[in-house]
Amino acid sequence: MQNSNYDYDTVVIGGGFAGVRACRDLSEQGYSVLLLEARDRLGGRTWSKHSKVGVFEGTVELGGQWVWPDRQVNMMAEIKRYGLTLTRSATPESYPSYVAGVHNPGPLPVPLEDIYDFERAAFALLTDAHRISPGIPLDQQNVGDLDIPYGQYLDALGVSPATRGWFTFFGSVFTARYPEEISALGPLTFIAQMEHSLIRAWGILDEYLVEGTGALIGAMASDSHADIRFETPVANVTQNADGVTVTTAAGNVFTARTAVVATPLATWADIDFDPPLSEAKSSASRERHMAYPVKVLMQVNNAPRFPYLLADPDNAGGAILLVAEQELDQGGQMMTGFYVNHLEREDSFGTDFAGVERFLKTLCPEAELVDFQCHEWATDPWARGFVAYKPGRLSKSHTELAAPQERVFFATADIATTFMTWMEGALESGKKAAVDAHRHMAQPASNP
């Protein structure tokens, strides 16, 4: 289908789930596609690799991992298509929490005397989450009054510190920022997309791929017949009435009829666009809206068996969650932890042994860290965290953030309308970009 005036029909920039989905769908329709990826691997903010953590040896996921089979139709279709296998996470044996600086053994989420407060807060969050319909851009849903700092939203509930602390979890687990820094729309949208269920949103660590996310994205990429170039960051995207010219940081130039920008929203400001990005896109990217997540995989000794330990980061140095993955034959457990590693706060845990140990002991003082692995997503220039929208952005610009600019289309989980910031959202937005690019190229009169 390629027109000889161009090197390719489409250049896709970025090889995460959104970009690879766009590549695969377009090449399936007969278009010639070039994928330019900055890193030396596919997968972006998913990264599965064979690794050793203490005595554990196997596949570790340093980024996106969990899938929700009941609702994530795009993920499930891909997993089925390539014959991969899902397995369920280990069932927790206890539900302790560390909120408002107090260890609570559970299973009640808050101490008994706070339980009516807890119910009132749950009712308020569920009522507001019910105003949100996943699949529709948030600027089309009349929810501007919820686009306020989540800390302010929680304060207005007038609940006890333990209840407030417990509900900060929904803000932080999804954005890896503190409640005053993010919009309440983030956690409320998260609850809405989990079937408007607090329990479902709380127990998000559901099923994951036995073969690893890398096996899935690898299968999709091999199926695409795209020309894939690694270690090829893009520096400039120029379009005019004739087509798109994409220039790499090394100065290589490629021409195409269309381009799909499938890089994280926070990285768009690092690419030079001519004509420039719309005001909403460029200001949102310059504002970064960045999450500061650390997901750490650890061999831990002397911890309680299979806890699901939730914390409020405000009072726990940034700690959010500690769960067990499996018991190790030689003793100890493989555990996964999540925390906010705030770039502007000096008291953040950091990612060296002492910092990870501090995180672990904050939640579980008796536990011993043996070994760990993690990746600093927030300082990774090709990721810049994942998206954590600040107040006032999504209720104004969600539609525009995802809108094409003539021959240039945008795809990333950061702008999705269902499962925003999930692998599912990435697949949905890659699929949409491929449909839009195909429509553009299928109009012979206006598009050569």
Ligand X SMILES: Cc1cc2nc3c(=O)[nH]c(=O)nc-3n(C[C@H](O)[C@H](O)[C@H](O)COP(=O)(O)OP(=O)(O)OC[C@H]3O[C@@H](n4cnc5c(N)ncnc54)[C@H](O)[C@@H]3O)c2cc1C
Residues that bind ligand X (CB under 6 A): 13-19, 36-39, 44-46, 63-66, 233-234, 262-264, 267, 271, 293, 295, 377, 382-383, 386, 412-413, 421-424, 426
Q: Is 37 marked within a binding site?
A: yes
Cβ neighbour number for residue 354 with a 10 Å cutoff: 10
**104 vs 412, which CB is nearer to ligand X?**
412
SS3 state at 2: coil
Q: Which is nearer to ligand X, 160 or 245 (CB)?
A: 245
In angstroms, give the least distance from the CB of 93 to ligand X. Answer: 21
Going by the DSSP 8-state scheme, the letter that residue 270 receives in this structure is: G
Q: Rounded to the nearest whole angstrom, what is the least distance from the CB of residue 157 to ligand X in the complex?
A: 28
Q: Determine whether 88 is exposed, middle or buried from the number of CB atoms within 10 Å of its CB (0-12, 13-18, 19+).
A: exposed
Give the C-alpha separation, 414 to 290, whole Å.
10
Decide if 418 contacts 135 (C-beta within 8 A).
yes
Cβ contact 400:281 at 8 Å: yes
Q: Which residue in the block uniquely carries the two structure tokens 């190229």?
A: 441
3-state secondary structure of 59: strand
Q: What separation, in Å, do the N-terminal and C-terminal C-alpha atoms of the chain show? A: 11
Q: 167 among the known binding-site residues? A: no
For β-strands 253-261 and 8-13, DSSP reports them as parallel
Nearer to ligand X, 264 or 313 (CB): 264
User: Which of 138/159 has CB closer to ligand X?
Assistant: 138
Would the annotation count 174 as a binding residue? no
CB of 71 to ligand X, least distance (A): 11
Q: What is the dihedral of CA 196, 97, 184, 151, to 10 degrees?
A: 150
- Of 420, 398, 429, 427, nearest to 194 (Cα)? 420
Of 13, 9, 105, the C-alpha closest to 430 is 13
CB nearer ligand X, residue 17 or residue 349: 17
Q: For ligand X, give the closer residue by CB, 38 or 408.
A: 38
* Least distance between ligand X and beta carbon 127 (Å): 26
- From the CB of 413, what's the least distance to ligand X, in Å? 3
- Least Cβ distance, residue 35 to ligand X (angstroms): 9
Residues at the binding site for FAD are 37-38, 234
Residues at the binding site for substrate are 338
Residues at the binding site are 37-38, 234, 338
